[in-house]
Amino acid sequence: MDTSGAVVLAGTPIGDAEDAPPRLLRLLAEADVVAAEDTRRLRALVARLGVTPSGRVVSYHEHNEAARASELVEAALAGQTVLVVSDAGMPGVSDPGYRVVRAAVDAGVRVTAVPGPSAVLVALALSGLPTDRFCFEGFLPRKPAERRRALAALVTEPRTAVLFESTHRIADTLADMAQVLGPDRAAAVCRELTKTYEEVRRGTLAELAAWAADGVRGEITVVVAGAPPVPASTDDLLAEVLDRVADGERLKEATAAVAERTGASRRELYEAALAARDAAPGDPSHLGHPGYRGATSRKEGR
């Protein structure tokens, strides 16, 4: 095999078994060791896929991953292919995987992956929310106070956030999110992705919290819009204009550049810069900007 003597992280279907790539089927059949988050679920998966593992199957879950990692790395060092799979999705993404990768890297063992389905990316793509920048928060804390503190850290986060939640806590979590992040923040609740009863519910956090109050079943991924940009104050924008002028840029060009970048009114910003200049003409320490070289007249500045 071309992956002998390696640790291979393999993504498994998050619902529909037909999403399994051919390479996953081959490795399940040929790997020397298959480390599974839940060996019972692995047996059910290979039965659906029509594959029979020829190698040794061992458990690799959150309670034994630290101890098991060294054993898996030793097997790879001995030239064996070690396939690591989680119950669903990509190992290491809120599932065991990080520790064996870290141990393999430290031991100089090759680590590679079989790309596969990911609830994070599927939910992000289906959410209808911005996908150009996002962060993954995993599972929020179970205790209400700790959960609200974790959410408070996202109040000003500009990126779209993706997180997992259980059916037992989703109603409380959405209620907390509406309270902490704001009831009008856009979000999507994605459940049972790629399965028969797949559903994507989009709306504001207040609307989703009300919908979930009666209970939501299934595997759940929540996607929340990032914080809206906070417009810079006129004073901040004016300071940037004056900094650019102090560096030798003409007032007109400096104002145009700052206005274009921030969306501020070019005319209002220009007038504010003229007023600030006129308030202290000839003062090189004008508004805390040493060496400010503003135009000597409105006509020149224009």
Contact 134/154 with Cβ under 8 angstroms?
no
User: Which is nearest to 187 in space by CA: 147, 234, 149, 222?
Assistant: 222
Residue 282: exposure state from Cβ atoms within 10 A (0-12, 13-18, ≥19): exposed
Contact 229/274 with Cβ under 8 angstroms?
no
What pLDDT is stored for residue 285 in this prediction?
41
pTM: 0.76
Which residues in 73-89 are b (16+ Cβ under 10 Å) and which e?
bebbeeebbbbbbbbbb
Q: Do domains 6-117 and 120-224 have the same CATH topology?
A: no
Which range (49-58, 61-70, 119-128) has the least confidence? 61-70
Angle between helices 170-181 and 144-152 (to 10 degrees): 40
If you search the block for the tokens 């060294």, which residue do you land on?
70
Cα gap 169→209, rounded to integer Å: 11
**184, two tokens:** 């009008």
pLDDT digits (tens, 9 = 90+) for 161-188: 999 999 999 999 999 999 999 999 999 9
pLDDT digits (tens, 9 = 90+) for 4-40: 599 999 999 999 999 999 999 999 999 999 999 999 9
Architecture in CATH for domain 6-117: 3-Layer(aba) Sandwich (3.40)
Segments of 120-219 assigned E as strands: 134-139, 160-165, 186-191, 199-204
Whether 298 has a pLDDT exceeding 60, the answer reads no
**160, two tokens:** 């779209």
Q: Amino acid identity, residue 161?
A: A
Cα gap 69→35, rounded to integer Å: 10
Whether 142 has a pLDDT exceeding 60, the answer reads yes
Q: Where are the domains of the chain?
A: 6-117, 120-224, 234-301
Cα gap 145→141, rounded to integer Å: 9
Q: For domain 120-224, which CATH number applies: 1.10.1270.20, 3.40.50.1370, 3.30.70.100, 3.30.950.10? A: 3.30.950.10
